[in-house]
Amino acid sequence: MAQRIRNWVRGVMRRVRSDDGMTTSEYAVGTIAACAFAAVLYKVVTSQPVMSALQSLVKEALDAKF
C-alpha cells in the first residue's frame, strides 16, 4: 500500500514539475499585450496633466523646508 502511494506521489510530482513552456502563439499574444500596455502607459505619463502634476511634485520636494 505504501509503495502505491509513493508511486502515485512521484507521478503527480513529475506532472507538476513538467513545464513545457508557452507556445509561439502565446508568446506572440503576450508580446502584443505588453507592447499595447507600454504604449498606453507612455501616453498617460507624457500627457499634460500628469506631466504638470509630476513637475509640481518634484518642485515641492526640492523646495521643502526642514
Q: State the Cα–Cα distance between residues 30 and 53, nearest whole angstrom.
A: 32
**Helix residue ranges, H only, the chain:** 2-17, 24-45, 48-62
**Which triple of cell numbers denotes residue 10?**
512521484
Going 61 to 62 to 64 to 66, the CA torsion angle's sign is positive
Instruction: Specify the pTM.
Output: 0.51
pLDDT of residue 13: 76
CB distance 50 to 44 below 8 Å: yes
For residue 32, the model assigns a pLDDT of 96
pLDDT per residue over 11-54, tens digit each?
877 776 655 666 788 889 999 999 999 999 999 999 999 999 99
How is residue 24 written as a grid cell? 509561439
Greater confidence (5 vs 31) lies with 31
pLDDT band of residue 65 (cuts 50, 70, 90) is: confident
